[in-house]
Amino acid sequence: MKNYKLAIVGATGVVGQMVLKVLEEKKLPISEYVLFASSKSAGKKVSFMNKEYEVQELKEDSFDSHIDFAIFSAGGDTAKKYAPIAAEKGTIVIDNSNAFRMDKDVPLVVPEVNPEEIKKHHNIISNPNCSTIQAVACLKPLDDKYNIKRIVYSTYQAVSGAGSKGIHDLENGIINYLTKENYKLEKFNYPIFNNCIPHIDVFLENGYTKEEQKMINETRKILKKPDLKITATTVRVPVFNSHSESINIEFEKSFDLNELKQTLKDSPSLKIIDDISNNKYPLATSATGHDDVLIGRIRRDYSVISGVNLWVVADNIRKGAASNAVQILEHLI
Ligand code: A2P
């Protein structure tokens, strides 16, 4: 076994915990792990790979003794401060945050879509936004074949995407509904239980949310189509885990619907669940716990010359974050 050393930054968070789980499943040639979080978690014990690890506080000197790779899942501010320090010390950072995704020198990678970008890194590689990852996994094979002209995204995003505070808001909302026990919102502006909130991340001057703009910009970067016409509405829904997306696509070329379905079937990591006569279509509860991107409700958009509608569901914490980061790590190794 090679002597790779891996740091997991944000090891106590929702994504960090999933990174540990995916690493346990994958059994990569890594002999040493270091778990970092904020000062609040320093000294906390985490069991991982049949061993007990003590969480360390992330500090400026944390990367002084050589660490080969680091998976960061600790938010944009932590990444902005510590990822350049790690990169400077020779650690290859895979960052789950928004901090570097649109930087020219930082590859933005979904391994099934653009693995060739990985080797262009300068010690920092970005994991795309969770809602972008599952979308581009479906879009890439279709773009290769039919040349995408325009995309309309509408998302239905789970609270786990907002971290542990988002999960608490839904849990506490359910308890409040049943017991009338008062609670304080930790993450959202409004109760997420019994609501759909059309507001993820901050509002921008153009009236879009940052989440919507991320989907637009990241899709263009990953598909290498800087002028692709895209619009998006991203909505937080009272679902614990797995994001659902309606994706409307218009193509330059014409297509045969059966052939389009076959193209999706033939793509790695995509799974078609599309049997409306038996009421079978992708659900958040079916996607949770797996890395597959589920696609269903595949139907022609009759309002344009060449268009299709897809319903796309994936585990946002696994494929949308942790598993994608670990897949990038596998490629690096
Ligand atoms: P901690 O648990 O000590 O706050 P989530 O969004 O699911 O709550 O996870 C966020 C993760 O990022 C947690 O592991 C959290 O650690 C970590 N984190 C937040 N701020 C920092 C920081 N300044 N330095 C290191 N880790 C941080």
130 as an active site residue: the answer is: yes
pLDDT digit string (tens) for 262-288? 999 999 899 999 999 999 999 999 999
Two tokens, residue 46: 């985490």
The reply to whether 112 and 214 lie within a common domain is: no
Is pLDDT of 108 > 80? yes
Q: 163 in ligand 1 pocket by Cβ < 6 Å?
A: yes
Find residue 5's DSSP bridge partners.
32
The reply to whether 22 and 171 lie within a common domain is: no
Q: Residue 145, exposed/middle/buried by CB under 10 A (0-12, 13-18, 19+)?
A: middle
Two tokens, residue 278: 């038996």
pLDDT digit string (tens) for 225-236? 999 999 999 999
The reply to whether 118 and 151 lie within a common domain is: no
pLDDT digit string (tens) for 153-182? 999 999 999 999 999 999 999 999 999 999
pLDDT digit string (tens) for 50-90? 999 999 999 999 999 999 999 999 999 999 999 999 999 99
Q: Which domain holds residue 15?
A: 4-127+321-332
Query: pLDDT grade, residue 27 (50/70/90)?
Result: confident
Find residue 57's DSSP bridge partners.
37
Q: 40 in ligand 1 pocket by Cβ < 6 Å?
A: yes
Is pLDDT of 1 > 70? no
The reply to whether 288 and 244 lie within a common domain is: yes
Residue 157 parent element (H or E)? strand 148-157
- Cα(130)–Cα(317) distance, integer angstroms: 8
Mutate to test the pocket of ligand 1, among 8, 9, 12, 55 (most ligand atoms within 8 A of CB): 12
Residue 209 phi, psi dihedral angles, 5° rounding? -85, 165
* Residue of 55, 58, 124, 57 lying closest to 91 (CA atoms): 124
Mean of pLDDT values over 25-39:
95
The reply to whether 27 and 137 lie within a common domain is: no
- Cα(97)–Cα(164) distance, integer angstroms: 16
Structural domain count of the chain: 2
- Cα(308)–Cα(261) distance, integer angstroms: 11
pLDDT digit string (tens) for 305-326? 999 999 999 999 999 999 999 9
Find residue 153's DSSP bridge partners.
232, 247
* Nearest residue (CA) to ligand 1, atom 10: 13
- Cα(325)–Cα(218) distance, integer angstroms: 16
- The CATH number of residue 99's host domain is 3.40.50.720
- Cα(22)–Cα(317) distance, integer angstroms: 11
Do you know the residue count of the chain?
A: 333
Q: 78 in ligand 1 pocket by Cβ < 6 Å?
A: yes
- Cα(89)–Cα(272) distance, integer angstroms: 44
- Cα(93)–Cα(107) distance, integer angstroms: 11
243 as an active site residue: the answer is: yes
Which atom belonging to ligand 1 lies closest to the Cα atom of 55?
Answer: 3
The reply to whether 275 and 177 lie within a common domain is: yes
Two tokens, residue 298: 């595949």
Q: 14 in ligand 1 pocket by Cβ < 6 Å?
A: yes
Q: 180 in ligand 1 pocket by Cβ < 6 Å?
A: no
Query: pLDDT grade, residue 107 (50/70/90)?
Result: very high
The reply to whether 188 and 59 lie within a common domain is: no
Determine the distance separating the centroid of ligand 1 and the alpha carbon of 165, expressed in angstroms.
11
Whole-model pTM: value is 0.96
User: Do 298 and 141 touch, CB atoms closer than 8 A?
Assistant: no
The reply to whether 89 and 149 lie within a common domain is: no
Q: Check 196, 199, 243, 290 and give the catalytic one.
A: 243
From the DSSP assignment, how many helices (H) and strands (E) are in the chain? 8, 14
The reply to whether 117 and 213 lie within a common domain is: no
User: What ranges in the chain are assigned the alpha helix state H?
Assistant: 14-26, 76-88, 130-146, 163-179, 210-223, 257-265, 284-287, 323-332
Find residue 234's DSSP bridge partners.
155
The reply to whether 82 and 161 lie within a common domain is: no
Q: 166 in ligand 1 pocket by Cβ < 6 Å?
A: no
- The CATH number of residue 240's host domain is 3.30.360.10
Mean pLDDT, the chain, as a whole number? Answer: 97
The reply to whether 52 and 181 lie within a common domain is: no
The reply to whether 240 and 107 lie within a common domain is: no
Percent of the chain residues topping a pLDDT of 70:
99
